Chain A
């Protein structure tokens, strides 16, 4: 019989370069899964599909990761939250200035103002903002609103009148001809107001062709409270970057890094969950089949062959409709189709063990079937089940990803790599070139699969009892 002991197993395992590489990948994945709350935040996980949560985060929408600034010759503006300087020139007036040093080539995605205040019933506040550019030019009244809401969010890019005012500023540097063309073709809706705010004041500014205007920008906000009962509690100005974070953002302004990190937890739970349960079922099934033998063995084998020949995806899709979407139901469904995988291997191992002399003697003493299986056969197969689990994980992860990709929220409610890709497909990320939305989730799926395959291969060589060969 084949006994190595833990130390022996580890020493043997270390001889396989592929196995070590797989193990490193695996540790990396498990690390991501465990430290997800630290690397990201729990809100990212629980509120991934809540648009209000993401709106409050002031993230740019569909921008690439920050590190692309290290490559390429143009730098992108990064995310920044500016600190206010507040003065009160008169009792009802707040004068707030934000200073922003613009050094990049590609302007920020957006400028977002958040105002938190107390407004008495029926009263209002009036908010103005001017932008003073480094060249001394001033864009007047970019913001000009009256509000009775205590929480106000103004995005210069998506507000109703702010872009217009910015374009009016920009169009004065364009030729008469261009101005006419733009109005006739209604081009303003496709142009980016940020190009105007952060562009050199000469011809081409509205198209972002005049080049970046670097230097200090001053955002001057005046809040006028009608009565002294209205108070301004906090004010915040966010420069949404044209790049963001480690992995960029998707079209809904979600931090993809958070989704990827949390996705690793779900992937590992589903992958390992399905693999462990399936192998456990296969272990009992295969051993029983081999040990009992005869007619039962025949029947069990036919059932296994039958289940393994069922096409998984169509049935999974239809069953996913019947079950309520959740990770646990998904695991359950995947187990239904993946337990027959390892049965053949386990059965043939058990068959060979059964032929050993000591099993015959154990039977001769009169030990019950179950006792012989659990005391004498299972312990010998058990080490090898680690390899079988490792081999079963990639299939489960791959299928889960496929199902999530096709079904979206019908598969699991949580954020998974497959669902991130489902969103990417819905928002045509590929056709708009948002590679940072498409590549990482799939890469993670492949890495997870590869890690387990490599570890499984090495474990197979170490643990595979010689009797199988």
Chain B
């Protein structure tokens, strides 16, 4: 079966990416964790040996000897004298089980300093914003793309293509800054950031409030991405429309709409899904930064705060979880591709 082979290949690919990121994360995490532990051990030894009145009469050499013994003890206790690879594998295991330890300064809204808690609190908000925006982008992009594919060379088509060209090199997060400047600072019709007003309204009004806060970041993401999306749809669809089977369908008397939204769109959908994967990669970075710009308390905002306060455990946890989610999303799209393309579904 083609699909099984294809799926296995995709899953293996995803696992390799995860493993590699895991390894890099583990190496850096190991460095960080060991530095922290060593500093702690040294301060304990200071207390135990150098400031201990019991040892006050001993010579510096003797003190150093005792300190070394204690140091060895603690190193063994925390596994610091095990081979490097073993230590790194330990960290990898920790990361794999989402044990990223405690944040240095950041706290979750419930006051927990566990990195997992902090990230899990932010995650659903990111998914809410990013999924909504992506779905809107895809719908608008495909509709406009199909429209311009039908009228290649028309004013509508040229407008969309030019717009796509201009938004291609537009940094999404900067566009966000501009929108805040215009819509929040100058016109004052949207909040400049955050997810709810303070104090948050109760009941149904709460959800409306969240929607109102979501509006500007969503508009930003959609604004920057839909042009590229429709251009992509347009090129793929126009390509498919030159294929012979379209003539066959026309000769068969299939209505224009059924040809376009049936034969053509259905054939164009596998390559569209592939482009979806690529544009997801492309817009992920932008979306993370955009969130930070809008103070949307999700993953992106957390990145910003963790980086600016140098909270290493949180940064590492974020990198790992983002990659994990991203690889997962790509995997799902790959499966959808497999189901859409009969060449994959039933093998060659």
Contacts and interface: CB of A to CB of B under 8 A. Distances in A.
Do A and B touch (CB < 8 Å)?
A: yes
A214 B77 CA distance: 78
Tell me if A's interface is mostly helix, strand, loop or mixed.
helix
B316 A318 contact: yes
A430 B192 contact: yes
Interface in B276-292: 277, 281, 284-286, 288-289, 292
A362 B323 CA distance: 47
A292 to B, nearest CB: 22
B121 to A, nearest CB: 19
A160 interface: no
Contacts of A317: 303, 307, 315, 319
A19 B177 CA distance: 29
A435 interface: yes
Interface stretch (A42-50, A119-127, A393-401): A393-401
A450 B167 CA distance: 9
B159 to A, nearest CB: 14
A321 interface: yes
A401 B307 contact: no
A445 B319 contact: no
Interface residues of B, number: 48
Chain A interface size range: 35 or more
A450 B173 contact: no
Nearest to B277: A309
Given A315-B21, A318-B24, A442-B178, A405 B319 contact: no
A453 B165 contact: yes
Interface string A421-438: 100110000111101001
B17 A306 contact: yes
A401 B171 contact: yes
Given A407-B307, A425-B293, A446-B171, A311 B28 contact: no
Contacts of A305: 13
Nearest to B170: A446
A438 to B, nearest CB: 5
B13 A406 contact: no
A200 interface: no
A467 interface: no
B330 interface: yes
B180 interface: yes
Interface string B101-138: 00000000000000000000000000000000000000
B307 A410 contact: yes
Contact of A450 (B169, B174, B175): B169
Interface string B139-183: 000000000000000000000000001101111011101101100
A394 B169 contact: yes
9 contacts: A311-B285, A421-B177, A424-B177, A425-B293, A430-B177, A431-B184, A438-B177, A442-B174, A449-B170
Interface of B: 13, 16-17, 20-21, 24-25, 28, 165-166, 168-171, 173-175, 177-178, 180-181, 184-186, 192, 277, 281, 284-286, 288-289, 292-293, 303-304, 307-308, 312, 315-316, 318-319, 322-323, 326-327, 330
Given A407-B307, A430-B181, 11 more contacts: A309-B281, A312-B285, A313-B289, A314-B288, A317-B303, A405-B289, A406-B292, A430-B177, A438-B174, A449-B170, A457-B165
